[in-house]
Structure 1
Amino acid sequence: MGRRDELLRFWQHIITAYCADQTTLPPFLGLSRNEFSDLITQLHKIGFSLNGHPCSSQILDQYTAKQHLFGDLIQLREDEIAQLSQLLTESINKDSFYANLAVRVMSCACMGSSHLWSDLGLPERPVLSEMIRYYFPALHGKNVHNMRWKRFFYKQLCESGGDYVCRAPSCEECSSYSECYTVTD
């Protein structure tokens, strides 16, 4: 898949939903202003227009102001975002153009309370699965039971053992089970 294909298959959906305020992503998708602007520029180069959208270049300054409001919220969960980013990075497709952006955006989207595909602004779960298969192939291969992606990511973090409070879908599966429940005979 080439750069243009990545933009059209994944990023066009994310940006469109973000500009319509249909994601749970923080300002600039959780990216730096420059990374976000570069992504918008790349979309413009392939003919994707944001004219009239709140993401157009003349309105980007408003997002900088909003970023201060969301900054504290993101800061509170930055350790969690870092752990998710590390999990994704360990499985990254080094041949993709936007994999590093996908790591940050997907990690930030995991902070939302809906399904990951919805929090990202993708049209449906199969597009998210395709995105994960492309950007994080080894991680995609581990989800042999087709578990929901956000749950799967947290289950992976839980199984890795670190200082993470597990949000696994079943407490009995969690490696921290004994820390949460006292087992009596």
Structure 2
Amino acid sequence: MTFTNYSNFNSTLRLTKAVPPTVAAFKRLDANDQLGVLWAIYQHMDQEGWIAIATLGTARLKLAQGLLHQIKLMSCSEQLQAMCDLLNKANTPITRAYGLFKNNKLVFWHQLAVLICSGEVVPVPADYQLSPAATEVFNQVMLFDFGRKVQFLRRVVADMGIDPMAI
């Protein structure tokens, strides 16, 4: 019989309960800060296991490739606007197409970050710094273990875009 250390259990429970308020804090940020937090998380998680996330969704990536290709064909300002539209739930062809990706949204954002790194999509300005509120959200996410980071990311990206079936 194995007993769980109460302090470890309590710490895990506290972190589990921390995900919803962190998601809520993320959603209160403006679109630029939300993009900044996603970018900062991507940069840090790349070292921890984005590969695992990407591998899980490789088969599903084909569904998102068309939308990613449309974004690549846009000007830099249009690309940035498309990302902000996703975050702001604006009703556009891009956000409606994204809304169809019930299980591909995390893979979509991972692939978008890869395209940003490769220079195929508008880059993050070299001098960009997170606002204090965005830094607070980012720091909270960095306290999470890998599974809770993924849980946080899934929750924030799932609510982006527009569900075209609900219009």
Higher RCO (CA 8 Å, separation ≥ 6 residues): 2
Give the TM-score normalised by the residue count of structure 2.
0.29
Structure holding more helix per residue: 2
Give the TM-score normalised by the residue count of structure 1.
0.27
Q: Which has the larger radius of gyration?
A: 1
